[in-house]
Amino acid sequence: MKTISLVKPDDWHLHLRSGPAMRSVVEMSAAQMGRAIIMPNLLPPIKNTNQALAYRAEIMEALPSDLSFSPLMTLYLTDKTTIKDIESAATEPNIIAVKFYPAGATTNSQGGVTSIEKISPVLEVMQKLDVPLLVHGEVTDANVDIFDREEVFIDKVLEKVVRNFPSLKIVLEHITTKTAVDFILGSSKRLAATITPQHLIANRNHMLVGGIRPHYYCLPVLKRQKPDQKALLKAATSGNPKFFLGTDSAPHDRHEKESACGCAGVFSAYAAIELYAAVFEAEGAMEKLEGFSSIFGPDFYGLPHNQETVTLERKAWKVPMQYEFGGSQVIPFLAGTELSWRLVK
């Protein structure tokens, strides 16, 4: 196989940042993706409809005129999110979901949710209005090992949400464990998951063996090859519509990653579909790539499939060591290595 054409993919989990940093990277996603769900964890976070639409306008202004790309916005859920906030968002077609960060779980999540009980009235309204809940699935209890935080979240938090709000549409984002895969498979069609390229390609050995590699550090953190990475690979390439593409591409300034307390986040938007293509080819499942990247996500969200297509060609190329990033540099995932597929421009 020398080329493959796909319905244009969508990225159902993307960080773009704002200002000059955003303008440095947004074209990379727009060149590959028809749509992307944009994360709201800026400083300050995007908490209401007006802020979300202003952020969307900033993104649209930064896009080249020859690229058709639709940013789908989210609200940052807090203990103080109101029913009116949800009702307002539900009437706006460019706001697609609400993002649940447990307070302190990841980058700029300090203002996130402290307990499910505090947001239960909001979840009830979201269920009624069919507003999806996007979940960063980790507990933040200091007594829970970082490698166990996703599993404990599923057991202590997510099971309760699914049970108490059975009609609520939920996406468990960037799953990392066999436990998460099994939970998704055993749940209703109202629960789905996104899987990132880094969690398919790498495991914790890549991050820790032979020295700490900060550009592999993300949250949820990379897990074991067996059973976790293997389970993710099986799920992504299975053709099951409950699993679909979400890069969680999260660019950080190089110096914020390569520091005594480096930021969590892997930058993959520069070649997202190429990275997934390499995974699906290695698993002997190239015929399943289009469903995962282009079909299952829109179907879950009740959106039409993109009308455009993209073409990938087998062409070896070397990933640059860095990209410009708002006057500084961002180091891409797999910098300096060779990829075997390239998007035809």
Would you name the residues annotated as active-site residues?
248
Angle at 19 between CA 18 and CA 25, to 5 degrees: 70
Cα–Cα nearest to 29, from 58, 66, 63? 63
Cis bond before residue 220 (omega within 30° of 0): yes
The secondary structure element, H or E, covering residue 172 is strand 170-172
For residues 1 and 286, the answer to whether their CB atoms sit within 8 Å is yes
Give the CA dihedral 1, 286, 72, 302, nearest 10 degrees: 120
CB atoms under 10 Å from CB of 162, counted, come to 18
How far, in Å, CA of 1 to CA of 284, rounded? 12
Q: How many residues does the chain have?
A: 345
Edge-to-edge strand list for the sheet holding 338-343 = 3-7, 309-318, 338-343
